[in-house]
Structures are given as C-alpha cells and as structure tokens.
Amino acid sequence: MTVDRIRRRLDRLAELTAAARVESISSTLDRVHAAMARGEYKAPALDPPPPDGASRRERETWRTIAHADARVMFLRDGRSDDLRAAYAMSDGDLWQTLTARDGVDLG
C-alpha cells in the first residue's frame, strides 16, 4: 500500500468522522430546541457568584455565563430594557434575579 493510498483512506475516514460529529451535534440541538418549544427543557440553575478571593478568571467566567442567562431570559420575552439593567447589576443582584426566574429559594 502506498503512502498516497493511505492518505486518501485517512482523508475519507476524517470526512466521515467529521460528518458524524456534525450530525450528532445537530440532532442533539434539535432535541433541545424541541424540548424548549414544548416547555419541557429547564436550564440548570446558575451557581452563586464566586467569593471575593476567587481569581479574576473565575469571576469573569461567572459573569459571562450570567450575562448569557440574562440574554436568554430577557430577550425571549422582548424585554431589552431589563437586559441593559442586568448588565449594570452587581454579581449578587444578577444572581438573585436569574435564580428568582427559576423559582429557587435563596434562603
């Protein structure tokens, strides 16, 4: 078997693998979107903001996730003014707003 023939086989295998991955991701997204449309999908609750001693990366990551949750919550209802307010909130206030949406008891 020549090197060129092995390369062609590997290229075909890579194409098939990539196509299978895309199809798997696509079918998963389709199932999630269908569940959301039926009201059966519940997003996981957001963890509380990291403590003051947390690294900058941890705080920024939490804030990014919280902003994404706020976009989903407020833009789905067409409340863009609330979304602008969410960006201006402190971490604690933002967390309370987002968890109140899920009906979580904050104690």
Domain ranges of the chain: 1-41, 44-107
Beta-carbon contacts of 70 under 8 Å, excluding residues fewer than 6 positions away, are 83, 86, 87, 94, 97, 98
Residues 53-104: tens digit of each pLDDT: 888 888 888 888 888 877 777 766 666 667 777 778 888 888 887 777 666 5
- Averaged pLDDT score across all residues of the chain: 75
| Number of residues assigned to the chain | 107
Q: What is the pLDDT of residue 35?
A: 78
Q: What is the pLDDT of residue 104?
A: 52
Helix axes 80-88, 56-76, angle to 10 degrees: 160
Share of the chain above pLDDT 90, in %: 0
The DSSP secondary structure of 83-94, one letter per residue, reads HHHHHHS-HHHH
Q: What is the pLDDT of residue 107?
A: 45
In this prediction, residues 40-58 reach a mean pLDDT of 79
Q: What is the pLDDT of residue 88?
A: 82
